[in-house]
Each structure stands twice: as structure tokens, then as C-alpha cells.
Amino acid sequence: MKKGESIKVHFQRLPGSEDLPLPAYQTDESAGMDVVAANEETIILKPGARFLVPAGFKMALPAGYEAQIRPRSGLAYKQGITMLNSPGTIDSDYRGEVKLLAINHGDEPFAIKRGERIAQMVIAPILKVQAEEVDSLPETERNEGGFGSTGV
């Protein structure tokens, strides 16, 4: 995909979410669209706790694409709020409500308020792999060097 190209993604608001914005880019160069919380009441997320935050919409991605759910960097840095299973993948054939698996890694309880920007969503193309079993793999300079093998 070249700069300036776009794809069309269909969004369906769920009943009771008419007052909330659909995912949106905050700047022209943003990679991710901010997604807001659609919970009816404020949720207090205690340190170490997880909560499946409703997003208030369903969507239809084109075949060959996925939506990746990621943390918002400011929430992660300032409050320790992140998304588990990150990036979480939403497949193009999923048609249920989008939900965001939040966890509080901070030291203080965190209030998830309705309409708050809680995560970001990046739409990305998917390449399909054709698995081929072989007897050996080609050598590289690194070879089997794993964790920490390239230095500090």
C-alpha cells in the first residue's frame, strides 16, 4: 500500500453507543485510530485487575486485513494501563462486538470512563504463509543465537 492509499472498513454502532465516536485518527500521520470505552458505568480497574472493555461497535474488514488492538502509549506510561494479548488481532471474518482486554499494571486504581480513549486500532494487511517442511535451513551469520546474542 502506498502513502495516501486507503481501504474502506464498515462500522456498525451498537444500540446504546450512538453518543460515542467511532474509531478515529487523531492526526493525519497517526498509524492507529483511537478507540473509546463504551461501558455504561465507570469501571474501577484495581492494580493487577483485567477488564474486557466494550467498544460499542462491530466492523467488517476486507479480506486480507486484520485490526490490531494496541495500548495507548500515554495511558501505559502514566497509569500503567495496557492491553493484554497485545497486539490483539481481530480477523476479517469476525462480526461480533469489538472488545478491549485492559489490565492495570500501575500502582493505583484506574477509572475507565465511558467515552474515554482507551486503546488504539491499527489496520494492517496480512500475508498468507505456505508452510514447507525441509530437512535443514540456510545458514546465517546469527544462526541459532537467541536472547541477548547480539549484545546489550
Domains of the chain: 14-125 (2.70.40.10)
Tell me if 10 sits within 8 A of 94, measured CB to CB: no
Burial 8-34 (b: 16+ CB within 10 A, else e): ebeeeeeeebeebebbeeeeeeeebbb
Q: What is the predicted pLDDT for the residue at 143?
A: 83
pLDDT for the residue 5: 81
pLDDT (0 to 100) of residue 3: 67
Cell numbers placing 91 = 480477523
What type of residue is 142? Answer: R
**pLDDT < 50 positions in the chain:** none
Helix (H, G, I), strand (E, B) or coil at 68: strand
Q: Are 65 and 5 in contact (CB under 8 A)?
A: no
Query: Which residues are registered as beta bridge partners of 43?
Result: 112
| DSSP bridge partners of 24 | 34
Of 106, 100, 117, which Cα lies nearest the Cα of 46?
Answer: 106
Residue 2: partners with Cβ closer than 8 Å, 6 or more residues away:
none
d(CA 6, CA 11): 15
